[in-house]
Structure 1
């Protein structure tokens, strides 16, 4: 009986020592010293260490934009202005305030945010997590990708986040979204990476390739950070998929690899993002098309057109070939291919695999900017012409890329309509194919045909896939 009591006492002491050792270990654990959790058990305890590491580098952004009051064409006309004058149009330009978030990427004040937050702003204030405020200026902005790179004038001791390659991100990973939703102050929400390679227009002004997350993202989170459990930036929160305007668990973030390419160009002194130019047109190869064309599998992008100056043509690809991967990563939509090329960057060589006549091949393709060959030779029609202020350019690869025109289009591109041509129905991005029966190749021809007082003008215009005939009387 005495031996059993001794055994029971030894067992209680043993358990007690184990609990004491566990308490001491928890107290002395590096995790309580605000270290990033390293395994699932530590993550279940708390996200506090990750937030304390990442949150100081996420900032609130307050942007002010001055918008001019738009006049109707009749209000701009010297004769009709007095009849159609609107007293409200005489008021001062409207001031529009917006708020969003941003992420500091270097200790000297490089900040990334969304273009729709700061792209058109005339005044930008950045508020840090410790309540310090700084003015900021836009170094580089791009509406299509919905990214903007800012520079704040601050001491070189700022907290910043490191970038993690977004190609290493996997569905199911834990993720935290940090930002300033609804202007209530910095908040943190958690979730997982719920999808990859989401392309198309998810909402907002961005069009491209996204990481999908179910971490709640709300208005004001735009430009904020999507971080992994190590506190590294994997994406910039940009938009949500919602019918009500609130989070429904489907949010989109711009991958960190594209952010890195933007930062590199901003540090080179560029004010506009310069994408590599493919010079091809194509479409996703779905199962029906693959079956019709005799391919053994779907996936990839089938080439339907190649510009004579295309680097893909120079590398040996041809119409009917199917591009499978770019930079070792699969591409299944044109938006995904543009993203892959942009993330690799100008001046590099991209490893491209493609299928041609049943054989799979690999080539290196030079990533170049759309060339200005031949020269665009922009001209602006003078005051004594039929459409004063109309700016025209000869079409070259750079103009094709700038206006997103079809590769095969020929004519003269409308770069700016001016007041009179806009009232006549022309739009920026239109291509004037012919004037009074004369086919246009160079803008100087249009200047000659529209000089002085022209009694009648017959114009053939291509707008997207539509061809329009216009007639005007002088």
Structure 2
């Protein structure tokens, strides 16, 4: 790559990040000092999982599954392995990795650059952000990376990706920061806000470090955008600021990440929409709906307002807004700048967790029920947030699906709106209709934006 020659003037202490090489000696510099500093804090992670699999692969085939529908069949547990990377963030053994690498693992081994090996435990994990905080206990202080302020990262900066691709051992690849504020482009993992890089990231790099030329952590590598399965130079890293928020909550004793709840529906205000609605510019998030207990509604915002900044930082997608709220943290107050009918206003919004009120009254249907093991809950803001349901969802939510209900086609996150003509608002109503005495069921289900009607006999 032609920019390799720039390297690395940036590593030399007397040079600033904005300078280019000034002499042949500067052009002969390499990444070696940065790698020597950062590589010892990047670890390999080996995780074991217990997966429940069907006795024959034909049971998961779209065509043949109909011939293997035996509700009483019990999936067999099998051990599966996961390979990835991690980054040590403190001398006492705090490690960050991806949730898809270690989440739900039964055994986690962390192997350091010097080949020392430790057993790790998960302190905090979050599938939505695809981050997990681990702890290893070592007799001596460990090498670690310092976190860099994510808002100071700029497009065009040189960056190194360090990890364990394909299990071949620790590897370093170079590139630049290709983009910032990338939302929802990571191939389905960790929906949110990402740093984009063209430093090659391959399977096994997940959870590894994206560092700058000063050896500071700017992001945790999470995924690539690819059609072939190989690296095409479009990789995504979770910003260090969000990693810092995870570490803080893990040290407070939380096992799951507490994410501030917005309670709004919104979409990016693009050029066409701005012209249609009479706005003089695009950018920001236009509010299309507000939950009755939304903190934004409490602060005075209304449908049709355009959110411009949160905490002094521009937001142009809902994912960016949630990222800014998450970095600020629960219990804080965020300054929100918005536009209403062309006039800008600023308010403070309380960053709160989604209220678990009214009580979800969660229950699991008994063995005598038509769907034993089906777990349902009354919908409240906390349930809406956990299952990523529409704000206007009404009914009872499916929390867990037993063997019988899954055969009927139900999924976690479905909303049961009515059963046999009974409009549902509480799990007790569903339990009564689905008692063992009922043999014919007509069910109305909301799944995302779809409404589905199901009819079957018990």
Give unmatched runs, 5+ long, in structure 2.
1-7, 60-64
Structure 2 counterpart of 1:147: 131
Once residues 244 and 384 of structure 1 are traced to their aligned partners in structure 2, the CA distance between those partners, rounded to angstroms, is 49
Contact 1:37 1:229 in 2 (8 A): no
Structure 2 counterpart of 1:398: 382
Q: Does 1:325 align with 2:309?
A: yes
1:279 Cα deviation after fit: 0.2
1:35 Cα deviation after fit: 8.0
Contact 2:189 2:223 in 1 (8 A): no
Give the one of 383, 386, 402 matched to 2:370: 386
Superposed counterparts of 1:159-174, under 5 Å: 159-174=143-158
Q: Does 1:111 align with 2:95?
A: yes
Once residues 203 and 107 of structure 1 are traced to their aligned partners in structure 2, the CA distance between those partners, rounded to angstroms, is 33
Structure 1 counterpart of 2:289: 305
Aligned length: 432
Contact 2:185 2:225 in 1 (8 A): no
Q: Does 1:280 align with 2:264?
A: yes
Call closer, same or farther: CA 1:292–1:36 in 2, change over 3 Å: same
Structure 2 counterpart of 1:55: 39
Contact 1:381 1:391 in 2 (8 A): yes
Structure 2 counterpart of 1:357: 341
Structure 1 counterpart of 2:251: 267
Once residues 219 and 247 of structure 1 are traced to their aligned partners in structure 2, the CA distance between those partners, rounded to angstroms, is 9
Structure 2 counterpart of 1:295: 279
Give the SS at the match of 2:44.
strand
1:43 Cα deviation after fit: 7.4
1:44 Cα deviation after fit: 5.2
Superposed counterparts of 1:59-78, under 5 Å: 59-70=43-54, 72=59, 74=68, 76-78=70-72
Of structures 1 and 2, the larger Rg is shown by 1
Over residues 251-271 of structure 1, what are the superposed CA-to-partner deviations in whole Å (9 max), with x where a residue is unaligned?
Answer: 111100111111111111111
Contact 2:365 2:372 in 1 (8 A): yes
1:438 Cα deviation after fit: 2.0
Q: CA RMSD in A?
A: 2.1
Contact 2:43 2:112 in 1 (8 A): yes
Give the one of 315, 319, 323 matched to 1:339: 323
Contact 2:71 2:407 in 1 (8 A): no
Once residues 424 and 236 of structure 1 are traced to their aligned partners in structure 2, the CA distance between those partners, rounded to angstroms, is 40
Call closer, same or farther: CA 1:184–1:36 in 2, change over 3 Å: farther
1:193 Cα deviation after fit: 0.9
Give unmatched runs, 5+ long, in structure 1.
1-30
Q: Which sits farther off after the overlay, 105-114 or 201-210?
A: 201-210
Give the one of 75, 78, 87 matched to 1:94: 78
Once residues 177 and 27 of structure 2 are traced to their aligned partners in structure 1, the CA distance between those partners, rounded to angstroms, is 16
TM-score using structure 1 length: 0.87
1:213 Cα deviation after fit: 1.2
Structure 2 counterpart of 1:184: 168
Once residues 416 and 287 of structure 2 are traced to their aligned partners in structure 1, the CA distance between those partners, rounded to angstroms, is 27
Once residues 386 and 188 of structure 1 are traced to their aligned partners in structure 2, the CA distance between those partners, rounded to angstroms, is 55
Contact 2:71 2:404 in 1 (8 A): no
Contact 1:278 1:311 in 2 (8 A): yes
Call closer, same or farther: CA 1:244–1:470 in 2, change over 3 Å: closer
Once residues 224 and 426 of structure 1 are traced to their aligned partners in structure 2, the CA distance between those partners, rounded to angstroms, is 37
TM-score using structure 2 length: 0.89
1:335 Cα deviation after fit: 1.2
Over residues 371-430 of structure 1, what are the superposed CA-to-partner deviations in whole Å (9 max), with x where a residue is unaligned?
Answer: 001000011222222222221111000000111111011111111222222222222211
Once residues 421 and 184 of structure 2 are traced to their aligned partners in structure 1, the CA distance between those partners, rounded to angstroms, is 40
Structure 2 counterpart of 1:13: none
1:457 Cα deviation after fit: 2.4
1:204 Cα deviation after fit: 5.4
